[in-house]
Amino acid sequence: MSEKPFDVVGVGLNATDTLLVVPKFPRYGGKVAFETELTSPGGQVATALVTCAKLGLRVKYIGTIGDDERGRIQWESLQGLGIDLTHVQRRRNCPNQSAYILIDRSTGERTVLWHRPECLRIDPDEIAPEQITCGRLLHIDGHDTPAVAKAAAIARQASIPVTVDVDTIYAGFEHVLPNVDYLIASSEFPSNWTHEPDPFRALEILQKEYGMRVAAMTLGADGALARYNGRYYYSPGFVVRCVDTTGAGDVFHGAFCYAILNGMSIERALEFSNAMAALNCTGLGARGAIATRAEAEQLMSRGERRINPEYARGAQVARP
């Protein structure tokens, strides 16, 4: 059997961000001068794929990009890393997805205001089996639900593992979840989907209902929590000098794809992904400080961890 041409195929969002750094968030109705303005590429799946590419994986992106200046910035950022863009559609007379991100310099936390025009929607008829089966792993988000549902179904039929990044409830997402192997959701999604406030129980319900191999959630500065083989694993977050949290979750997902393809255990995969996410927070922008594997492993071996006792009590805690 010949080797597949790509390690990771991604279907989903990209965005071009305008970052505004302020000394501190103003009170509601207030006013504050911003210190820095920066335009940079981002987006859930696109940034995860950039992470994969920078870690040395062969990457293909399937999505849509506008034909404006923001679209040009996004296209060139992906093309410059050698990511295959054969099946990226550049939509005419359509602006690219954009976001305005306010970053509190005192904490590095951000607030995102975003817009995606309807003209960027991916139609499921535009997803062909050969676009998906050329990769060893499929990574998706939830926004264009019918399209990613079709991609996940194709991958499942071809025995290709599927990872998903989902942060909110999308109509029809119940058609995606049965074909997911690795669910890495936001901290809010499991409870919102299952109506179960306890995060451990919510992950268990999701895993038992849809049969995914790993059901997990990212926890921001507190790290990540996962359920695998009937056990819970908690990987604490790393303490770094945080400049900007934009893109941390997307980098986590890209690192997790890399970890799965490289046969890491669930404990090590979570730790590695946490380290990559933390290091990205030391730079400005969604892709401001994507680290090397060596840099992530150095943080894993020497870095200080922030352990949340709520998660540590009910799970096996990853240790250095």
Question: What CATH number is attached to the domain comprising 274?
Answer: 3.40.1190.20
Residue 1 has pLDDT above 50, yes or no: no
Q: How far apart are CA 317 and CA 141, in angstroms?
A: 28
Query: Is there a domain that residue 197 lies in?
Result: yes
Q: For 104-163, what is each residue's pLDDT tens digit?
A: 999 989 899 999 999 999 999 999 999 999 999 999 999 999 999 999 999 999 999 999
Mention every residue, 6+ apart, whose C-beta is less than 8 A from residue 225.
199, 200, 203, 216, 217, 219, 232, 233, 234, 235, 311, 315
C-alpha 74, offset from chain centre = 17
Q: Is residue 102 domain-resident?
A: no
pLDDT digits (tens, 9 = 90+) for 273-295: 999 999 999 999 999 999 999 99
Measure the CA–CA gap between 112 and 99, rounded to whole angstroms. 7
Question: Can you tell me the mean pLDDT for 201-224?
Answer: 97
- Beta strands 36-42 and 15-22 are antiparallel
Provide the number of structural domains found in the chain. Answer: 1
- Residue range(s) defining the domain that contains residue 195: 6-13+43-87+124-317
Residue 168 within a domain:
yes
pTM, 2 dp? 0.95
Q: Does residue 37 form part of some domain?
A: no
Does residue 119 belong to any structural domain of this protein?
no
Inside any domain, residue 294: yes
Q: Is residue 22 part of a domain?
A: no
For 179, phi then psi, to 5°, come to -110, 15
| Contact yes or no for 127/9 (Cβ under 8 A) | no
> How far apart, in whole angstroms, are the C-alpha atoms of residue 157 and residue 139?
15
C-alpha distances (whole Å) from 127 to each of 123, 131, 176, 221 are: 7, 7, 15, 36
**Domain-located, residue 26:** no
CB 197 within 8 A of CB 165: no
